[in-house]
């Protein structure tokens, strides 16, 4: 028969194990918060978030086209927004400002180069860069969630520059 002290130690061990397992693959999350223009990757930049809560009714074709872009690519070890992505991000900002009930999740991703900790931080900086851009254009912080997956969810498999380029991204997903 196990003593009370032994049972407490066992329960603490189980609780700690559950915490470690529960935290190991989630990446960093932060409430409140590309490589684009190249035809090789342009197709990958559109259609992300299909089946999400985006509602494109009452939009012009031009607005719909700008809002279709949901993936924004970054250079190696960088988190700055590309000038050619600003029109699409402005369209997302305008849509969110006019639809206060909509909430987005911005997912930050990296390639596999670097440690897990570094990549989670870099993915978060990329997500926050998109978040800051949207907020500076009038989007409420309450409409934005940022999560970093680091290198945990690659778009392209492989260890070459082509795969790395596709994996360095932030994705906008409409949650509601």
* Domains of the chain (ranges, CATH numbers): 28-174 (3.30.1330.60)
Q: What would the pLDDT profile of 64-78 be if each residue is shown by its tens digit? A: 999 999 999 999 999
Res 134 pLDDT > 90: yes
- Virtual torsion, Cα 33, 36, 40, 42, nearest 10 deg: 70
Please tell me the pTM assigned to this model. 0.71
Dihedral sign, Cα of residue 49, residue 54, residue 57, residue 61: negative
Q: 121: closest CA among 157, 150, 83, 96?
A: 150
Give pLDDT tens digits for 30-82. 433 333 334 333 334 444 344 455 666 778 899 999 999 999 999 999 999 99
């Amino acid at each position: 028969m196990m003593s009370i002290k032994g049972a407490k130690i066992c329960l603490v061990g189980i609780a700690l194990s559950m915490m470690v397992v529960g935290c190991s693959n989630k990446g960093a999350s932060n409430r409140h918060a590309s490589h684009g223009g190249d035809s090789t990757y342009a197709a990958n930049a559109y259609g992300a978030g299909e089946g999400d809560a985006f509602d494109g009714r009452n939009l012009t074709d031009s607005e719909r086209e700008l809002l279709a872009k949901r993936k924004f690519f970054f250079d190696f070890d960088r988190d700055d927004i590309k000038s050619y992505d600003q029109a699409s991000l402005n369209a997302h900002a305008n849509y969110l400002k006019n639809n206060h009930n909509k909430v987005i999740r911005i997912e930050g991703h990296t390639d596999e180069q670097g440690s897990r900790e570094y990549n989670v931080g870099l993915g978060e900086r990329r997500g926050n860069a998109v978040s800051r851009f949207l907020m500076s254009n009038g989007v409420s912080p309450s409409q934005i969630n940022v999560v970093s997956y680091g290198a945990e969810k690659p778009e392209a498999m492989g260890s070459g520059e082509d795969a790395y380029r596709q994996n360095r991204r932030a994705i906008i997903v409409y949650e509601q």
